[in-house]
Structure 1
Amino acid sequence: MKITMKIPSLMLIGVAVHVSALVAQVPPAQPGGQPRQQLPASQQSVNVASAPMERLRPNYVLRPGDQILIRAFEMEEISERPFRIDGDGYVNLPVLGRVKCGGITVEKFESTLLDALRKYVRQPQVTVTVVQFSSEPVFFVGAFKAPGIYPLEGRRTMVEMMASIGGLQPTASRRIKLTRRKEFGEIPLASAVPTPDGSASTLEINMASLRDNVNPAEDLVLQPFDVISVERAEMVYVTGEVNKVGAFELQERDSISVIQALTLAGGLNPNANTKTARILRPVMNTSRRAEIQLNLQSILEGHESDQPLLPNDVLYIPKGTGLKHNLGKTMLVVLPVAGTIASLAIAFTR
């Protein structure tokens, strides 16, 4: 092919290649709804005040973190007020001062209060009710709307606890990991695996199973110190000569095909070079990427098999050289020459 270029003055030819960089997505701000409030690590407890207050068995042993409600006849200073047992097992009561209660039964503590109140009331009457029980924590880590440490409220399942903290962020992965300490038993599913050191077992749970099934086996009853973690959603990236450059979620899939990714990206631009596309694949434990050559034209024509894109792959579609795409057309190239802008008309002909 013969190329003729007619230029009336000094010719300066510059070729600029612009590569659009993908910008990492920033998680959206949390919605205005109020998720369940998490407690400080030092005060992990379960509030049962909303339930009917039943008298706790007298042999229950009080412990730090419990919250008690005292009803004392003719002693308004301490009556009908909740008090938290501190880390040393004491409560600070008006008039009576600092009273030891941690490590003793409810019945014994009532007797202690009766003895103390006889200095101020002729015939004291006292009842003690536990309105908030101290509890072991569970941990929600990663792309939850409200990650943090939460008290384990009795027999709670994973779905119940996730709902109580607001669920997942929109950008969260659809795979959840449960880690359970060995002392609380192994996770009772065949797909659970032990950690390398044997101190815990782990289970990967697909959100689709929790969402689509009735009473799924993966909706396990949580145990103390369970860790529920979720990463950001795994992505593939499409850039270059496509209609919509961007990052696309794999969702529950392990991979998507090149054709699927191009469909999500709105298809190819007219100037796309379909013979020299590339997949840039991360090399594990390095910052480098391996380059995989791809002949899109052969794939689209059915001569080659479609290729999978794995998490964090980049599909790059380069621009054509222009010799074929712009044949018979006129391009206007604007270049700076000696402080001015010179317009060069370059005509490509056969």
Structure 2
Amino acid sequence: MKVVLLLLLLLVSLAPVSVRGADYVIGEGDSLDISVWGVKELNFPVKVRPDGKITVPGLGEVVASGSTPSQLQTMLGGRLKELVKNPIVTVTVREITNSKVYVFGSGVKAAVYDLSRRTTLLQLLCTLPEVKAADLRNAYLLRDGKKVKTDLHRLFIQGDTTQDLPLETNDSLFVPLLQDRSVYIMGAVAVPKAIEYREGMKVMEAILEAGGFTRFADQNDVVVRRKDGDKAQALEVKAKRLFKEGDLSQNIELKAGDYVMVKEAFF
């Protein structure tokens, strides 16, 4: 008897995590297999009802939603002691229907994704075909009503995988639309124009695409005007320091929606 019991416990401990769900939280709609070793009448499949409860023979209604399988096993084992001597209870998640992530925002198509396996934020972003045209800098992940991750640009565009994290049931991903995908070059340049923004674009690169400075341009009087939410910024660029002194800090990186103003010199 002891040998059989030890073998049974060993098999349970070696069961895959995806099946046993060691840290998975049971929810409404999930299908469970419940078994009590040696008691045929207490081996049965059951589906968690919308009220979060299941019906167990001899116990009646039991709340299953909100517990992990191991927690439910412990709870059932304690209550079944009134009916069975030293009950050995096993709870297996047979079908997961409760674990979902919600994606919304004008930058992507709204959808509900089933978490049938462990999934990270990066893995989910890779499944969204419109994400490259979205405003990832202002995107965020909501969990229990709180922002747990903001600025997804670092993760998805710059490849900073330290920003990745596992998704959890009922997480919500908000991805807004990138309103302006252009950089505007104005003033004393050969061809004032709007240029489609590219990741990593620098101010001098944009000026050269607009034909470069005119002979009337004041190369030390270039201003990048940027709107960051409700705040407006004016970033000065002194191109002569870049050309003559090699001051690379003057060649600032642009953002979508920036206006590059090249002023004329006064003679």
TM-score (norm 1): 0.39
Instruction: Give the TM-score taking structure 2 as reference length.
Output: 0.48
Larger CA Rg, structure 1 vs 2 = 1
Instruction: Identify the structure with the greater helix proportion.
Output: 2
Higher relative contact order (CA 8 A, sep 6+): 1
